[in-house]
Structure 1
Amino acid sequence: MSRFEKLTHVLWHCQYHIVWVPKYRYRVLKGLIGQEAHNSIMVFSSQLRCQVVELNVQPDHVHLLIKVPPKVSISKLMGVVKGRTALRLFSRFPQLRQRPYWGNHFWAKGYCVDTVGVDAEIIRKYVKYQEKQELQQQEMSFKK
């Protein structure tokens, strides 16, 4: 089985590790709030046709390992996930709005994102020697 996914005109494997935190890095993602954040992230990610590989909601941050189709930008994914989970958490847990310092923003601005995949050195070697391999294959086909 290939690690690649298929769409109509593309074969892809775009996997990202994303980390983000609640505003002021408050430790509020515990208990029912943490469970609701986890469920919301799963639902809103799947609505964008993204596949959650691993999700870990800690009291003061979230780690997400996710496969994202090439037609979905990371900024779009994070806008949807952070925005809609914040709305859901504020509606399900109104006590979160009671704190005056939240200012209707549950998550801190920004996030950390890193690509996950084949080692960069392997890709460099593949790109570097690909032309050499193609030339060798052409020579072999001419000899036949």
Structure 2
Amino acid sequence: MNDEMLTRCEEVMRKVCEDFGAELKEFNGESDHVHLLVHHPPKVALASLVNSLKGVSSRRLRAEFTGRVNQAIMHGRFWSPSHFAGSCDGAPLQVVKDYIAQQKRPD
């Protein structure tokens, strides 16, 4: 993914979060992955939110950036089937925000 694709991905993921009553606090990515800091209400199942984030963004990015997405690399998938989610309750949020902001975003 390049900067343009990551910018669009952020827009799409921000809207998905809003639809779930969650807030995308920080977003950044590299050519092959993204980092998100999301505040979500306890009633929202994290797995459902992640599935929607990946599913909606995959459909939109494939449709809008046809020809730039190499489906052969991911065997037809846009995102890896796995994800990592960690809780940062009690941790200084600025540390997490700084980590995400410092990702080496491609041109």
Aligned to 2:33: 61
Contact 2:27–2:35 (Cα < 8 Å) also in 1: yes
Aligned residue number for residue 105 of structure 1: 77
- Find 1:84's aligned residue among 56, 64, 70: 56
Is the Cα–Cα contact under 8 Å of residues 44 and 80 in structure 1 kept in the other structure? Answer: yes
Q: 1:74 to 1:94 in 2, by over 3 A?
A: same
One-letter code of the match for 1:113?
A
Q: Residue 36 of structure 1 aligns to which amino acid in structure 2? A: R
SS in 2 for 1:116: coil
Q: How many residues align?
A: 91
Q: Secondary structure at the match of 1:34?
A: helix
Match of 1:87, as an amino acid?
R
Flag the structure with higher strand content.
1
Structure 1 residue runs without a partner (length 5+): 1-28, 120-144
Deviation at 1:97, TM superposition (A): 5.0
Instruction: State the TM-score, normalized to the length of structure 2.
Output: 0.75
Change (3 A) 1:103 1:30: same
Cα distance in 2, alignment partners of residues 95 and 86 from structure 1 = 14
Compared CA separation, residues 67 and 95, structure 1 to 2 (3 A): same
C-alpha spacing 1:118/1:82, structure 2 compared with 1 (3 Å): same
The two structures, once aligned, show a CA RMSD in angstroms of 1.7
Matches within 5 A, 1:1-144: 29-96=1-68, 99-118=71-90
- CA shift at 1:95, angstroms? 0.7
Q: Which secondary structure does the structure 2 equivalent of 1:66 belong to?
A: strand
Identity of aligned pairs, percent? 22
Tell me the distance in 2 between the aligned counterparts of 1:90 and 1:45.
20
C-alpha contact 2:6 2:28 (8 A) present in aligned 1: no
Aligned CA distance change for structure 1 residues 31 and 116 (closer, same or farther; 3 Å): same
TM-score normalised according to structure 1 size: 0.57
8 Å Cα contact 2:5/2:61 also seen in 1: yes
Aligned to 1:10: none
